[in-house]
Chain A
Amino acid sequence: MSLLTLSNIAHLYFSKNTYTKALDQISFQVKKGEFISLLGPSGCGKSTILSIIAGLIQPTSGEVLVNEASTNTSNQLTGYMLQQDYLFPWKTVLDNILLGPQIRKQQNASMRERANQLLEEVGLPNVADLYPHSLSGGMRQRAALVRTLITEPEILLLDEPFSALDYQTKLKLEDLVFKMLRTYHKTAILVTHDIGEAISMSDRIIVMRANPGTIAKIFDVPIEIRNEIPFLVRRHQKYDLLFDKIWNELNQQEAKSAPE
């Protein structure tokens, strides 16, 4: 049984003088505990898929099923992590983290305790009372991870959460997120344009093509590197093999769409 099913999703964006088909015929399933990456060029509708799953946008047609049941708002089950941390600068780190529970009216003393515990787990002890501007980019993104995790989402939606970080921080955070998700048995969908990131973190990689955004090909990550932490995956020979395959696939997509 799959946790999440997207069935034949299509989405149109309208503007005053024109409309664009952002997504077409998007169908895939995600099992509980699975890590999926959506990989593709910018403008292929990857982020739109996440927004649809999160219930932030209603697809023009098609259905999102969670636990085999149709849903319009899967908000309670999903946690969204954006490209940048978007911590509110006028709130302390702790207040930022408690934003989700506060909105869902679940804020209480045990939540505070949980927040502090999670902060410690991501390697940020003693920052709860600081304001975000005094933290580095990597620290802020880790705090944002805690903000997402505290509402106990079933499915984490990661919208290029590492793309605004420097390379070293990015690699470290990949490892951290990977470990945290494994520890808490979370399901995750990562949107990225970084082939290496997709291979090193996921179980399956959905390669997309643009105009309209459709699924081009789905790659299974070899079993040997699935459970390895991202940093070590990058040194594995299977990594290079898969990298080449995906690279070629993306190039073909580009070549196909070029003549227009």
Chain B
Amino acid sequence: MKNSSDYQLFSAYQKQLKTEKKIVLIWQCLLLIGFFSLWELSSRLYWIDPLLFSSPSRIINLVLERFANGTMWTHLQITMFETILGFIIGTLLGIVLAIMLWASERFSNIMDPYLVIMNAMPKVALGPIFIVALGPGYISIIAMGAIISIIITTLVVYSAFREIDPNYRKVLLSFGATKWQCFHKAVFPASLPVMISTLKVNVGLSWVGVIVGEFLVSKQGLGYLIVYGFQVFDFTLVMASLLLIAIIAAVMYKLVEQLEKWLIRHRIDS
């Protein structure tokens, strides 16, 4: 008898959770629909200048049209390619640099002031230099997508390496482990959660680097479309590019989140 009443309480609790989830979802949908409807409405009724702020229907028409005639794909692909590569290179180099700092205390001390300066430096300001050095093409843009996340990754991962409980190393050292064995058995796997959490930050940062890079290089990509649309006063194009960026960036973020879950489940076991 007692058990069944416990169970009733439990199912009531479960039901409450479900209702709450539903309410949140409904509100989320309402906000989305409300925002776009209001935008469409105000544009049609000339509450806002449709030339400047466009309207959802125009944007969607433009996107469909551009996809149909294929002029959107190239821009989309190039931007995604640059962002993904910038993200991967930035993250990997950042981790490699962190490993180097960890490996040599002296190197870390020598690098300290430079890391502080490079971290404080707004990386996108280096854009013109990249373009001069690497040419006005996708290499410069990838470099910008990467540089923006390298130093912050290095600092975060390096501090994670150092915060590992020294007793894990002591266990390994007591078996006669080398420094490299300590790194690969204890320090690296123990800092994996931190490294994975930097992935999520870096994917966002790479977008910033790439879009600014495309602004500057102005050849192709979604960043280029934004600048181009701005120059020819085609704000429908600007908004359409923004919409696509928002969607792809969100998808990438979700993918990285899935990767994070997967990595945590399958910790690199060595």
Contact = CB atoms under 8 A, between A and B. Distances in A.
A99 B175 contact: yes
Contact of B175 (A82, A90, A100): A100
A114 interface: no
Question: In terms of DSSP, what is the predominant structure of the interface of chain B?
Answer: helix
A103 B186 contact: no
Contacts of A219: none
A75 B170 CA distance: 12
Nearest to A56: B173
Given A90-B267, A91-B269, A99 B172 contact: yes
Contacts of B7: none
A75 B177 CA distance: 10
Interface string B216-243: 0000000000000000000000000000
B4 interface: no
Given A90-B189, A90-B269, A75 B167 contact: no
Interface string B162-184: 00010110111111110001000
A195 to B, nearest CB: 25
Contacts of B189: 88, 90
A95 interface: yes
B185 A82 contact: no
Nearest to B182: A103
Nearest to A101: B175
A76 B189 CA distance: 25
Interface string A60-96: 0000000000000101101110101010101100010
A76 B174 CA distance: 9
Given A80-B170, A90-B269, A91-B269, A75 B175 contact: yes
Interface residues of A, number: 22
Contact of A80 (B174, B185, B190): B174
Contacts of A79: 174
Nearest to B193: A90
B178 to A, nearest CB: 8
Contacts of B167: 82, 84, 86
Contacts of B174: 54, 56, 75, 78-80, 157
A104 interface: yes
B176 A86 contact: no
A246 B190 CA distance: 42
B176 A76 contact: yes
A141 interface: no
Q: Which of B168, B170, B171, B190 has most A Cβ within 10 Å?
A: B171
B170 to A, nearest CB: 7
A202 interface: no
A99 B171 contact: yes
Interface in A138-195: 147, 151, 157
B100 to A, nearest CB: 23
Contacts of A78: 174
Task: Among A90, A95, A99, find the residue whose CB has the most chain B CB atoms closer than 10 A.
Answer: A90
Interface in B141-200: 165, 167-168, 170-177, 181, 185-186, 189-190, 192
A88 B173 contact: no
A103 B185 contact: yes
Contact of A103 (B168, B170, B176, B192): B176
A104 B175 contact: yes
Given A86-B165, A91-B269, A104 B170 contact: no
Which of the listed residues A73, A76, A80, A95 has the most CB atoms from chain B within 10 Å of its own CB? A80
5 contacts: A56-B173, A75-B176, A80-B171, A88-B186, A91-B269
Interface of B: 165, 167-168, 170-177, 181, 185-186, 189-190, 192, 267, 269
Given A75-B176, A84-B167, 11 more contacts: A56-B170, A56-B173, A82-B167, A86-B165, A86-B167, A86-B171, A88-B185, A90-B267, A99-B185, A147-B171, A151-B175
Pairs A-B, 3 closest by C-beta atoms: A80-B174, A75-B176, A100-B175
